[in-house]
Structure 1
Amino acid sequence: MPISPNFTSVLYKDWEINFLQCYPNGNLKYTELCNLFQLTAAAHSELGGISFSDMQEFHQAWVLSKMLVEVHKLPKWKDKVTVKTWIKSLENSRSVRCLELYLGEEKVVGCETFWAVFNTQTRRPESLALPSDQFEKYPEASATHNSFSKINIQNEPDCRETRFTTIAKRQVALSDLDIVNHMNSVKYLEWCLDTINPKDLILGKLKSFEMNYLKELSLSDQATIAQNESVITINKDGKTCFALSFVV
């Protein structure tokens, strides 16, 4: 699609929180928060001419590699919120996108995401085939206080902090897949959060969490979920596909 006449390098998109997106107490689910960010990023890329449909002409798609979320307060049912997004960097096959969620004038969530261009036929990363100069980049503008970190996923038997214990087993179902034909990024988070104390989620006690996407999962894949004190991993055939670190 051509670049929209309404395109701007910084997008503000309004959303209203509905009851399907909320925990029993009316707080927005962490997974739905990430869905809002993903949908806003997709809307911005569509306006700017680098959407999934545009990229599929070259068998390409954006896939999420890292995501860092810092939560001050969760919106509630019926709240009207605004998501602000901009691109911090975009070069060759990689891009860092920032997102902020506002409740009125108050910023309540900050998020930084790291994306890679992925060939949907070869299942390998490659350089973006479309022009992106229409997007102004904002390298000095961050949405979070912290930066991406390397999540420690080494299972060291002599170190209590990095000893992982298998806590669940899952199989990828059709409902877990997205249009790229692999498990959607938010589904990894959902699987992991299902193993956490429900009260911590319902009461909004997760103040920050970071996700690393390492290998894709496909339909019918068998996976194990393992955890230490503050890291949860999703693994297939002994290799880590996803890692979540969190602060309560």
Structure 2
Amino acid sequence: MENSHYKTSYKVRIADANSQARLKISALFEMLQEAATEHAQNLGVDFGSIAPLGLGWALTKMSVELYNLPKWNERVYIDTWPSERERITTHREFIAQSADNTPYFSARSQWVLFDLNTRRLARMERLKDFLRDPNKLATAETFDTPLKRPAKNSKYIECHVRNNDIDLNGHVNNSIYIVWAIQSLDDDFLKRMLPSKIQINFLEEVKMHESVKSISEIQDNMSLHSIVNVQTQRECARINIQWQQI
């Protein structure tokens, strides 16, 4: 259904590029989040529209397949649309490419509604449904396979939540979890490797004045990450990243 799709574009700014002039992974997540938000505004289900209902959106799972990371000053064209809907989850798809249709990346995401007061999940039926294209998926990801967790004795770094990490929902924005994960990897590794697939499960929100341990382990061409709240000792996110040589 073409009218269920939303198309937009973004230029890779200097602040979005890493030392190799490629799009930062955290900036990629911000780009997808922005496209989803713009479409939600058009559909009347963005933060400003549902907050008066006591509701908010939370990203729970994301899977990104990367083919060519765009570089500084290049423009990224994104097609996004809602696909499947279940009792407490909804899925959104993304396809990104260049002006000449060179594929950049594709992504599937899973979102939930939550009650802003109780912080508990809310059923999708609390919102009137919107146009979808359930027969078209961006990737073959099903979100059924559990993500691997690093070994208990794996190395870690400690990260403290900053004011700038907090978003409209009053918790750490999803793009920051990727920053924490990448920071735990050695510089030499990052200089010679590029991500080819990123899978992340968001398990629990992190708030202001909290700290996390970013635990990581490398197994062959994959890095395994676990983000653990220092105060509660509960796992807040699990991330698996597949890498390839530059």
Q: TM-score with structure 2 length normalisation? A: 0.88
3-state DSSP of counterpart to 1:113: strand
Correspondence 1:118 to 2:114: yes
Match of 1:192 among 181, 186, 189: 181
Whether the 8 Å contact between 1:208 and 1:246 is mirrored in structure 2 is yes
Do the aligned residues in 2 keep the contact of 1:164 with 1:226 (CA within 8 Å)? Answer: no
Q: Is the 8 A contact 1:74 1:204 kept in 2?
A: no
- Report the counterpart of residue 127 of structure 2 in structure 1: 130
**Distance in 2 (alpha carbons) for counterparts of 1:235 and 1:72:** 30
Q: SS of the counterpart of 2:33?
A: helix
Partner Cα distance (1:37, 1:199) in 2: 28
* Alpha-carbon spacing, 1:208–1:23, altered in 2? closer, same or farther (3 Å): same
Indicate the SS of the match to 1:74. coil
Whole-Å separation in 2 of the counterparts to 1:166 and 1:118: 33
Q: CA RMSD in A?
A: 1.8
Return the offset for 1:143.
1.2
**1:136 to partner: Cα distance:** 2.4
Corresponding residue to 1:96 among 88, 91, 98: 91
Q: Check 1:239–1:210 CA distance in 2 against 1; reply closer, same or farther (3 A cut).
A: same
* Alpha-carbon distance in structure 1 between the residues aligned to 2:51 and 2:176: 23
1:16 and 2:11 are equivalent in the alignment: yes
Which of 3, 26, 29 in structure 1 is aligned with 2:21?
A: 26
2:242 to 223, 241, 247: 247
Distance 1:245 1:23 in 2: 21
SS at match of 1:206: strand
Distance (whole Å) between structure 1 residues aligned to residue 80 and residue 25 of structure 2: 18
Contact persistence 2:68–2:105 (CA under 8 A):
yes
Gaps of 5+ in 2: none
Secondary structure of the structure 1 residue equivalent to 2:238: strand
Structure 2 distance, partners of 1:96, 1:233, is: 24
Shift in Å at residue 247 of structure 1?
A: 0.7
TM-score norm. by structure 1 comes to 0.88
Residues 76-225 of structure 1 mapped to structure 2, 5 A cutoff:
76-104=71-99, 105-128=101-124, 129-132=126-129, 134-138=130-134, 140-148=135-143, 149-153=145-149, 162-201=151-190, 205-225=194-214
Q: Which runs of 5+ in 1 are unaligned?
A: 1-6, 154-160
- Which residue is equivalent to 2:61? 66
Q: Which residue identity lines up with residue 204 of structure 2 in the other structure?
A: K
1:166 CA displacement: 4.1
Q: Secondary structure at the match of 2:4?
A: coil
Letter in structure 1 aligned against 2:170: N
- The answer to whether the Cα contact below 8 Å between 1:86 and 1:97 also exists between their aligned partners in 2 is yes
Superposition deviation, residue 25 in structure 1: 2.2
Residue of structure 2 equivalent to 1:235:
228
> Match of 1:8, SS?
helix
Q: Residues 38-59 of structure 1, C-alpha deviation per residue, up to 9 Å, x if partnerless?
A: 1000111110111111111111
Question: C-alpha separation between the residues in 1 aligned to 2:49 and 2:58?
Answer: 15
Q: Alignment identity in percent? A: 20
CA contact (8 A) 2:62 2:201 kept: yes
Residue 169 of structure 2 aligns with an amino acid whose one-letter code is V
Q: Alignment partner of 1:83: what SS?
A: strand
Q: 1:48 aligns with which of 43, 49, 58?
A: 43
